[in-house]
A and B are shown apart, each in its own frame.
Chain A
Amino acid sequence: MATAYCDFWLVCAAILPGRKQSAANRLLRQLDAPLAVNQLHVLQLEMILARAEPAHPKDVARARAQFKAYLEELVFEVQPSRWEAAFALAVELSRGHAVGGASPTHLLHPCLAAVAGFTHYASFEPEARRFARAAGLRLLPSAA
């Protein structure tokens, strides 16, 4: 059975208004609810919103409330992760592939997906998609 992991950047693109939102919306609506997220998604979202809060308090409050509502409505569901296995795979892949300009989370999200048994990795991020392919995942969209 095909199952898709949506990375942090895709979740942001889907729920927040911006130039990638239409494409993210079209991609995610091919999938079924609930969309699995994990505590790394939650941490990254909390951190980026906290940094933006002084300059954009109203929009940050809206974003927090909207994400909370999506969790309550089971549009997204926070699921447990196999952290040790994911980090071990991330270290292994970082040694075998040119990391280029990738951040650790560009590597960690695909590894979390792979060790959890997802079949597909949904993302618009070129670096994350490269590592997802290396981890044996199929990509959504198939070309980006």
Chain B
Amino acid sequence: MNKTSVRPRQNGRRRPNLNATEGGQPTRGVRGKRPLPDFEADAQRVFGANSRFGDVLLGKYGNSIL
């Protein structure tokens, strides 16, 4: 089996593109200052486009932590 053809997966979903760039600079996985990734796009990919898990989490459980 050609292992290089297998995409790394996380919870059954494709991992973020470590080679993604913004303005020619890598956004992930490299030491030193660089642009941050698009968190909103990442969340849509991981949780689904209509998810409101953050609101549920902080609304329902936010007062119970420190």
Contacts and interface: CB of A to CB of B under 8 A. Distances in A.
Whether chain B is bound by chain A comes out as: yes
Interface residues of B, number: 38
B55 to A, nearest CB: 4
Contacts, number: 125
A13 B36 contact: no
Given A17-B52, A44-B65, A52 B60 contact: yes
A28 B27 CA distance: 13
Contact of A104 (B27, B38, B53, B66): B66
- Chain A interface secondary structure, helix, strand, loop or mixed? helix
Q: Give the interface size bracket for A toward B.
A: 35 or more
Contacts of B29: 72-74
Contacts of B42: 15, 66
A117 B29 CA distance: 25
Interface string B17-49: 010000000011111011111111011101110
Interface of B: 10-11, 15-16, 18, 27-31, 33-40, 42-44, 46-48, 51-58, 60-62, 64-66
